[in-house]
Amino acid sequence: MSTPPTAPFRWPAEAIWEAVAPVLPGFTVEVLPQIDSTNTELMRRFRAAGPVASEPVLLVAEQQTAGRGRMGRSWQSQAGDSLTFSLGLPLQPADWSGLSLAVGISLAESLEPGNPAAPAIRLKWPNDLWLTDAQGGESKLGGILVETANWGELRYVVIGVGINVRAMAEALAPAAGQPAALAPGALQTLLPGIDVAETLLRVAAPLVQAVQAFGMFGFSPFQARFSARDALAGRIVKLSDGTQGMAHGVGENGALLVHTAAGMKEITSSEVSVRPMTPPAPGSARAC
């Protein structure tokens, strides 16, 4: 049985366009009822037409049939349960490191504004949004997939975002060959009644601003804001090469700092996966 969509969706395309177009010339908002993947579609367009298809666009899909996550994983979602969109635009930062962290910070702050002392939305390096419930349990609220392509000198970035808004009626089984991930959370447990359209309205314009700020200044202005929501800080983590250590936040370039038996390691590779091994200190979030 699948969850009935909150149909018809009333996407705030015009409101988003009005907020963003003055600061991002050429910007458009496009909503599709179904597509394989919004990231795949924007990459396809850019690779086929280059500069002609490089105008900034926010592509929203009500339903993805082949949503993708990092490291070849799939992103499964159902219409009305999950907000799925990609922002594509040309970008020329001096240094690309930390972009997915800056995106995560923007999303978290839009959905839970006001610098709470104990935020419910935390960021798990490098690309996950985690939700902490009142009992300290953690679930995956969202994920970010950043991809880039070149056409001559032109560098184009596609920032894909998936946010679990409504609890799924039934858990989707992990795709064949993939490990079970952290259980999906639901934004509605933090913001009762919010739907996918309202979620998009909250996050879209601030996200564009954050990406523009990243393009100009890089990650360093985001570093302290990341620390305020760092889900791994002070926890023992296991890297995909088997090394274990304690997470010590991120550096100016967004690299994860892990104190291992061999000293402090800077983890920058997007190919490194990190798993928390221990519960956090009493009073903070529980380990999964």
Which residue ranges make up the site for ligand BTN (CB under 6 A)?
Answer: 37-39, 64, 67-70, 73, 75, 84-86, 127-128, 143-145, 160-162
- Judge whether 229 counts as a catalytic residue: no
Q: Decide if 27 contacts 20 (C-beta within 8 A).
A: yes
Name the helix (H) or strand (E) containing 176: none
* Backbone φ, ψ for residue 124 (5° rounding): -105, 110
Cβ-in-10-Å burial (0-12, 13-18, 19+) of 46 comes to: buried
Q: Which is nearer to ligand BTN, 119 or 162 (CB)?
A: 162
- Whether omega before 126 lies within 30 degrees of 0, making that bond cis, reads yes
**Residues β-bridged to residue 88:** 57, 158
Q: Decide if 127 contacts 104 (C-beta within 8 A).
A: yes
Q: Which is nearer to ligand BTN, 45 or 68 (CB)?
A: 68
* Backbone φ, ψ for residue 82 (5° rounding): -130, 135
Q: In angstroms, what is the minimal distance from the CB of 39 to ligand BTN? A: 4
Q: In angstroms, what is the minimal distance from the CB of 87 to ligand BTN? A: 10
**Active-site entry in 70, 122, 166, 202:** 70
- Judge whether 124 counts as a catalytic residue: no
- Whether omega before 12 lies within 30 degrees of 0, making that bond cis, reads no
**Active-site entry in 68, 140, 229, 235:** 140
Q: Which is nearer to ligand BTN, 70 or 122 (CB)?
A: 70
- Judge whether 238 counts as a catalytic residue: no
- Position of minimal CB gap to ligand BTN: 143
Q: Which is nearer to ligand BTN, 20 or 61 (CB)?
A: 61
Q: Which residues are catalytic?
A: 70, 140, 275
